[in-house]
Amino acid sequence: MDHYASEPRRVVVTGLGAITSIGHTADDFWASLLAGKCGIERVSHFDPTDYACQIGAEVRNWDAAALWDPKEVRRNDRYTHFGFCAARQAVKDAGLEMQKEDGDRVGVIIGSGIGGMLTYENQLRVLFERGPRKVSPFTIPSLIGNICSGLVGIELGARGPNFGTVSACASATHSLGEAYHVVRRGEADIMVAGGAEASITPFAYASFCAMKAMSTRNDDPQHASRPFDAQRDGFVMGEGSGVLVLESYEHAKARGARIYCELAGYAASCDAFHITQPDPEGRGLKLSMSRALSYGGVRPEEIDYINAHGTSTPYNDKFETIAIKKVFGDHARKVAVSSTKSMTGHLLGAAGGIEAVACVKALQTGFIPPTINYAEPDPECDLDYVPNQARETKPRCVMSNNLGFGGQNASAVFRAI
């Protein structure tokens, strides 16, 4: 079928991949979330002594060259290592056999907020210290934000829609949403989608520190990311990737795939307010949440769990709480809300990818991950943030929110089947 579907198609999740500071597979990541494990430590990628923030959630004891052609690893940025390997995980988990699929009907959208930051820094150093003739010919392909999608497409022989979304910390959720629309309208049967980021680098840290956006709780890394807590003082950087396989319900059933859940609704919006600060009234996020529910045919009271953006910054957590109250009304007091960034740090453009994996696993297992480091309630953040311990509730519908600089908002609704 090379035309749009006559009716919108149901979109389901059939594969998961995740590489994070607390687990190098989706299952290990999920087990760590339920255990309340924190992946934040002193930065080891570079000497952070002179930086206001000296901590981060690094992916440690992980070697891309053990999982991918070492030549390709050398040619590509760390963010691509994460995204490519997470996509491989997701495809394997989905049981996809590409030799049985029509490559024209398979696509890839893997977003990144910043792309190859490490490549930028390393090659600028080469330019300034050794001259222009020493700059690597792989610099541009390595640093651009769509190259991960391209490489996954080459690996799979996937000739369908292929690009990368760039919308700061909403990038991965926008990737999933755009992939959802591609499948829903019949342009592809299968989409590999998510986000990847590797920005624990000197220049990125110097830049975010200059904004005073990051936590300076350097003497206590494990308790530095504390979303919704009254003593929160900024976000902590994380790195890694989360990738999902989305496909039409009909296609998944026809090939006998294991279906995790349905991606029922998605919406995006803009605060149209400020380049970095969320709207104090939560209007943009309210719009994306309301529309995601409406498009998915889900009533607010059907949502059992929200994986919040919850960055541990004073503004974000307060304004997100306001937006949730506006959308859910009285039900806001009953819905469980947690921020897994308390454990993983903030993966910027990859955040929505790993948080979507967490939402899917919540539906699959019947457990909700906690917000750890929640010790002192903030009167302006007064919802149920699932403090410090995972909870068994058997959710049926869950939502994931992500916000990005520029006023970007994205919300996705997942529903059990």
Instruction: Say whether pLDDT at 273 is over 60.
Output: yes
Rounded CA separation 126/134 (Å): 7
Rounded CA separation 55/238 (Å): 9
- Residue 3: per-residue pLDDT: 61
Question: Percentage of the chain surpassing pLDDT 90?
Answer: 97
pLDDT digits (tens, 9 = 90+) for 124-143: 999 999 999 999 999 999 99
- Residue 7: per-residue pLDDT: 84
- 67 secondary structure, DSSP code: T
- Residue 5: per-residue pLDDT: 73
Question: Percentage of the chain surpassing pLDDT 70?
Answer: 99
Please tell us whether the domain made up of 264-415 is placed in CATH 3.40.50.300. no
Better-scored residue on pLDDT, 351 or 2: 351
- Residues 113-128 have a mean pLDDT of 97
- The whole-model pTM stands at 0.97
pLDDT digits (tens, 9 = 90+) for 390-412: 999 999 999 999 999 999 999 99
Rounded CA separation 246/360 (Å): 12
Q: Is the separation of the CB atoms in 93 and 159 below 8 Å?
A: no
Which CATH superfamily, name and number, covers 11-254? Thiolase/Chalcone synthase (3.40.47.10)
Query: What residue spans in the chain does CATH classification 3.40.47.10 cover?
Result: 11-254, 264-415
Residue 340's SS3 state is coil
pLDDT digits (tens, 9 = 90+) for 299-310: 999 999 999 999
Instruction: Say whether pLDDT at 150 is over 60.
Output: yes
Counting every residue, how long is the chain? 417
Rounded CA separation 228/201 (Å): 27
Residues 224-259 as b or e (16 or more Cβ within 10 Å = b)? bbbbbbeebbbbbbbbbbbbbbbbbbebbeebebee
- Residues 41-59 have a mean pLDDT of 98
Rounded CA separation 236/42 (Å): 11
- 96 secondary structure, DSSP code: -
Amino acid at 175: S
Instruction: Say whether pLDDT at 2 is over 60.
Output: no
Rounded CA separation 58/46 (Å): 11
pLDDT digits (tens, 9 = 90+) for 318-360: 999 999 999 999 999 999 999 999 999 999 999 999 999 999 9
Q: Which of 166, 163, 192 is nearest to 180 (CA)?
A: 192
- Residue 6: per-residue pLDDT: 74
- Residue 4: per-residue pLDDT: 73
Q: How far is CA 338 from CA 88, 205, 231, 306, in A?
A: 28, 26, 17, 7
Sign of the alpha-carbon torsion through 349, 162, 179, 287: positive
- Residues 194-216 have a mean pLDDT of 97
pLDDT digits (tens, 9 = 90+) for 103-115: 999 999 999 999 9
Provide the mean pLDDT of the chain: 97
Could you tell me the strand order of the sheet in which 336-338 lies? Answer: 162-163, 106-111, 190-197, 240-248, 11-19, 261-270, 408-415, 397-404, 305-307, 336-338
Active-site positions read 169, 309, 346
- Residue 1: per-residue pLDDT: 47
Rounded CA separation 55/239 (Å): 12
**Locus of tokens 């997470």:** 86
Residues 154-171 as b or e (16 or more Cβ within 10 Å = b)? ebbebebbbbbbbbbbbb
